[in-house]
Amino acid sequence: MASLEQLKQTFFDECAELLQDIEVGLTEMREGGASDETVNAVFRAVHSVKGGAGIFGFTGLVEFTHVFETVLDEVRHGGLAASADVIDVMLTASDVLSDLVTMSRSGEPIGAGYGEECRNALQHLIKVGDGGAAADDEGPAPADFEDFDFVPVPAEGFDAPEGAEAVTDGMRCYAIMFRPKPEMLKNANEPLYILRELRKLGELDLTAHVGLPPLSELEPDHPYIGWTGTLRSAATRAQIDEVFEFVVGDCELEIVEADPISVVTTMIEAVVWPADLALQDSPERDDVAAAPKVTPEMATSAKSADKAPGVQPTKPAATTTRVELEKIDRVVNMVGELVIAQAMLGQIVQGLPEDVSGRLAQMLEEVVFHTRELKDSVMSMRAAPVGSVFQRMPRLIRELAAKTGKKVRLETVGEHTEVDRSIIERLGDPLTHIIRNSVDHGIESPAERLAAGKSEEGTVRLAAEHRGGRIVIEVRDDGAGINPERVLKKAREKGLIGMDAVLSDEEINNLVFLPGFSTAEAISDISGRGVGMDVVRSNIQDVGGRITLKSERGRGMTIQLALPLTLAVMDGMVIKVGGETYVMPMPAIVECLRPSRGDVQNLVGSRGMLQLRGDLVPLVGLGDLLDVRSTPGAASDSVVIITEAGDESRFGLIVDELCGHQQVVIKSIEESYGSVPGIAGATILGNGRVAFILDVDKLSDLAVNEMSTVGSAGLAHAGSSGLAA
Amino acid sequence: MPAAAALKVLVVDDQNSVRQMTRLTLEQLGVRHIHEAANGRAAMDTASLQPLDLIISDFNMPEMDGLGLLRAVRGHPVARKVPFILLTGRGDRELVVTAAKAGANNYLIKPFTAAILREKIEQVMGKLS
């Protein structure tokens, strides 16, 4: 049995989802694309938070959600128009609510008066909605109605509930059965209009009964629908009869003023609907209404009744199940072990004599195939849409806009793009920081924007997409872009570059990633102190990602993050250099080739350039980069792997040998060794030995250094860190 | 006098936490057979297939709300006599009135204690043993 603490956790998990629903719904309303169902969904979500909070005793939450809920109730009943101002107050309320939930979750006391301003604003709206009259129940509705004269109906006596009598308060209750005949449609009377008229008289509750004959007997112009239900109204019987005046002969009609339940139920039994007609031949027909016997027909009739108007529109039932992340992680680990065991098996099979290994190898092939499928399935279980990170951003933008007095609109694209949870967890902070930067430094004030001939409102566009085995997330703003002079000046002042260094615009832009760089003239409380773009970059690089920045003066800035889809298993090419084995991530490999002597042009130093289909690709020895003694020899004797780093620059890595393509399980080495340039992690190979996984982006940086300082030995080497396996 | 241990109760709420909490409270009263459903539609599926002694349902739910469920139950040839207790928040007087008319046997205000739950069930079912 679940403990109370566990249930509370479940409640908070639900809250997180409900808060998202609220945010999404309100945003939809704000953008004007909302239906009544959206408003209802937001109302339901707030109501659910309130209900749960009550049960688990979070009074602060209950009080706030109550006011919030009342406003939403006004909106959905049309008492309050959902104007932009009203929705803005509700959006703020959703932010406050989110804070309150966080505080309740962490057990932090909610400060007196927290969210007071927002609550007052909500209460003000309630008053507006009431047309000036004060809300009847402010706060958590002190007016409980325990004393209210609801007479509980004993189970055996509910066919004639006395309780119902007690609550009629001057309203009459009519039970109505209405079933149009074909003549009614022929006489151009529309049943819908009649129902609408009826609804005007009072509270109408109807259940539709649809019964279609077999297709061969179906008359397209016949109404195969009828309704039963109740009308609670102050209207007289005559007024109701008036509604049906013109169709009296053209329909089956029964109107009875009485206690609602008994009438309705008996009527439903009495009425033979067309659907039931089909059952008449069946000997069980008489049993259907009376005997407690379940037949498939009943299930269908119950379902067709569900489709009645007035019942909320059907959404496809979600077939999901909640699984603790830890359990999935365990499966991921097991798959990892399986991949390793399978690689070892492969190694053994290879060593066997041909006549034994033939069939074994074939079977192994199959195992490899299934393992790959298994891996993909498990990975997709761990994957989640990046939307969960994106959803935090509208609030951020709102807060930033409010603080800076700028007008900013957020556009999101591709929020359904899926990526591993571990990546998602690490995306939040960098994205938050980048967006802060964009709004704080990028987007101009409305006046400046107008002066620059732009629209008053700035746009920040957040987009995600899959590209070449990676997820690419782009933050683009249409602000002022980077001011190269200012950046250069700042970098010189801070001694980050020499006073006389000449840099290209791109190089200048990339200066913002240097540690200790901040261009804001005065550090604002928005972009923060201390944490700069350098931290963002190292965060992204820690997960094997890469960050690039493009800026166009006066037009805006684009920051692109390219991240691996998963951190657990990947496809790799096993290579050898100087007796050491490494793994190169497959997505980074463009092609592998053994160049002929004529293709290699020696330029400066010993490495040279490779002539590749008309392009020149710089070559660099992997052994030199990592400082492992490579078998001496020219590039032409070795294999060249053409790789493409995240910035789309290509270069050729010279290696001794390609050993084959295999899936590898990524094991982090950072906990044990810290970050090593050029090495992304380690893995266990089929022979049980450890091999390092190469970080191509870092290698590319190293290679650029290598090429520009051929002969110097000032590089950071993996080997010199005592890491050689 | 119904025996709590023999009662078959269906708890309907879209919030798992509330559902579990209701289950926990019912278990404190000695109820052992507890079905759960996350919305009216799922509840109706259960109600048409399982013999039930009591339905305790929330009002606000997606797909089919508590009132919709109540009406569907009352209109169902087999389940129509199953006692129905509506879970509601404070201040939902209107709702309770509507529910009473639609055939609810009792209502229960969230949050509730085991004692109140017992009282409400006993008002409908008779003393629990």
**pLDDT tens digit string along A128-140?**
765 444 444 444 4
Among candidate residues A538, A329, A509, A336, the one with its CA nearest the CA of residue A421: A329
| Contact between chains at B48 and A299 (C-beta distance less than 8 A) | yes
Q: DSSP readout, A215-233?
A: GGG--TTS--EEEEEEEEE
Q: Do B51 and A292 touch (CB under 8 A)?
A: yes
**Residue A164: per-residue pLDDT:** 41
Indicate whether B51 pLDDT > 80. Answer: yes
Question: What's the rounded mean pLDDT across residues A334-345?
Answer: 83
Residues of A in contact with B17 (CB under 8 A): 7-8, 10-11, 14, 52, 55-56
- Among the residue ranges A69-78, A210-219, A252-261, B89-98, the one predicted with the least confidence is A252-261
Residues of B in contact with A141 (CB under 8 A): 90-91
User: Which of B15, B62, B74 comes nearest A261 by C-beta?
Assistant: B74
Residue A632 burial (CB count, 10 A): 8
Which of A7, A104, A207 is the best mutation test for B, with the most CBs of B within 10 A?
A7
Q: What number of other Cβ atoms are within 10 A of residue A318's Cβ? A: 9
Task: Supply the pLDDT for residue A137.
Answer: 42
Q: Which of A42, A76, A126, A158 to mutate to test the interface with B (most CBs of B within 10 A)?
A: A158
Closest residue of chain B to A301, computed from CA coordinates: B76
Interface test with A, best of B1, B50, B60 (most A CBs within 10 A): B60
Chain B residue numbers touching A292 (CB-CB < 8 A): 51, 78
Whether B124 and A155 lie within 8 Å, measured CB to CB: yes
Partner-chain residue, chosen from B18, B61, B74, that has the shortest CB–CB distance to A265: B74
pLDDT of B65 above 60: yes
Which one of B9, B13, B17 would you mutate to disrupt binding with A, by most A Cβ within 10 Å of its Cβ? B17
Residue among B71, B101, B120 whose CB faces A173 most closely: B101
Q: Which chain B residue's Cα is nearest to A43?
A: B60
CB-based contact A260 B103, cutoff 8 Å: yes
Rounded to whole angstroms, the Cα distance separating A48 from B14 reads 8
pLDDT, one tens digit per residue, over A562-588 is 887 766 677 788 998 888 889 988 877
- B15 or A173: which carries more pLDDT confidence? B15
DSSP secondary structure code for residue A667 in this structure: B
Query: Would you say the pTM of this structure is higher than 0.80?
Result: no
Closest residue on chain B to A264 (Cα): B75
Express each pLDDT in A192-243 by its tens digit.
Answer: 888 888 888 888 888 887 778 778 778 888 888 888 888 888 787 888 888 8
Apex A211 CA angle, A209 and A214, nearest 5 = 170
Return the pLDDT at B37: 92
Residue A268 or residue A345, greater confidence? A345
Identify the three-state secondary structure at position A591.
strand
B24 inside 8 A of chain A by CB? yes
Tell me what the pLDDT averaged over chain B comes to. Answer: 87
DSSP one-letter string for A112-148:
TTTTHHHHHHHHHHHHHHTTTPPPSS-SS-----TTS
Q: Indicate yes or no: CB of B123 within 8 angstroms of CB of A48.
A: no
Q: Does B96 touch chain A (CB under 8 A)?
A: yes
Does residue A10 have a pLDDT over 90?
Answer: no
Integer CA distances (angstroms), A139 to A73, A482, B91, B109, in order: 15, 50, 11, 16
- CA–CA separation, A712 and A409 (whole Å): 51
Q: Find the CB nearest B78 among A203, A298, A314.
A: A298
Partners of residue A51 in chain B, C-beta under 8 Å: 15, 18, 58, 60, 89, 110
Q: Is A289 exposed, middle or buried (0-12, 13-18, 19+ CB in 10 A)?
A: middle
pLDDT of the residue at B84:
94
**Interfacial B residues in 102-121 facing A (CB < 8 Å):** 102-107, 109-111, 120
Mean pLDDT of chain A: 74
Percentage of chain A beyond pLDDT 90 is 2
Residue-wise pLDDT tens digits, A628-665 = 766 555 444 678 888 876 566 788 888 888 888 877 87
- B68–A298: do the CB atoms touch at under 8 Å? no
**pLDDT score, position A159:** 47
- 3-state DSSP of B26-88: HHHCCCCEEEEECCHHHHHHHHHHCCCCEEEEECCCCCCCHHHHHHHHHCCCCHHHCCEEEEE
User: Is there a contact between A311 and B68 if contact means CB atoms under 8 Å apart?
Assistant: yes
Partners of A460 in beta bridges: A410, A477
Measured between alpha carbons, how far is A388 from A166 in angstroms, rounded to an integer? 49
Question: From the CA of B123, how many Å to the nearest CA of chain A?
Answer: 6
How many angstroms away from the CA of B71 is the closest CA of chain A? Answer: 8
Q: How many residues does chain A have?
A: 725
Chain B contact set for A152 (CB, 8 A): 105-106, 120, 123-124
Range in A488-492, A702-706, B24-28, B76-80 the model is least confident about? A702-706
Would the CB atoms of B68 and A167 count as touching at under 8 Å?
A: no
Binned at pLDDT 50, 70 and 90, residue A462 comes out as very high
Most B CBs within 10 Å, among A153, A162, A314, to test the B interface:
A153
Nearest Cα to Cα of residue A653 among A599, A589, A562, A564:
A589
Tens digit of each residue's pLDDT (9 = 90 or more) over A139-168: 444 344 444 556 677 766 544 344 444 344
Q: Where are the alpha helices (DSSP H) in A571-691?
A: 622-626, 670-673
* Contact residues, chain A, for B81 at CB < 8 Å: 155, 158-159
Minimum distance, in Å, between the CA of residue B34 and any CA atom of chain A: 13
Answer for the pair B116, B108: CB distance below 8 angstroms, yes or no.
Answer: yes
Query: Across the interface, which of B16, B93, B110 has its CB nearest the CB of A148?
Result: B93
Residues 62-81 of B with CB under 8 A from A: 62-65, 68, 71-72, 74-78, 80-81
**Of A659, A662, A702, A664, nearest to A682 (Cα)?**
A664
Using an 8 Å CB-CB cutoff, list chain A residues near B16.
10, 14
Of B62, B111, B126, the CB nearest to A312: B62
Scanning the structure block, which residue is given the tokens 């990975």? A379
CB spacing of B74 vs A155 below 8 angstroms: no
The predicted structure's pLDDT at residue A135: 40
* Confidence at residue A522, expressed as pLDDT on a 0 to 100 scale: 46
Q: Report d(CA B76, CA A608) in Å as an integer.
A: 84
Between chains, do A312 and B93 touch, taking CB under 8 Å as contact? no
- The reply to whether residue A55 touches residue B68, judged by beta carbons under 8 angstroms, is no
- Please, what is the angle between helix B114-125 and helix B16-28, to 10°? 70
Q: Hey, are the CB atoms on B62 and A315 less than 8 Å from each other?
A: yes
**What number of C-beta contacts closer than 8 Å exist between A and B?**
179
Q: Which residue has the higher pLDDT, A83 or A697?
A: A83
Measure CB to CB from residue B105 to each of A145, A153, A317 and give the nearest one.
A153
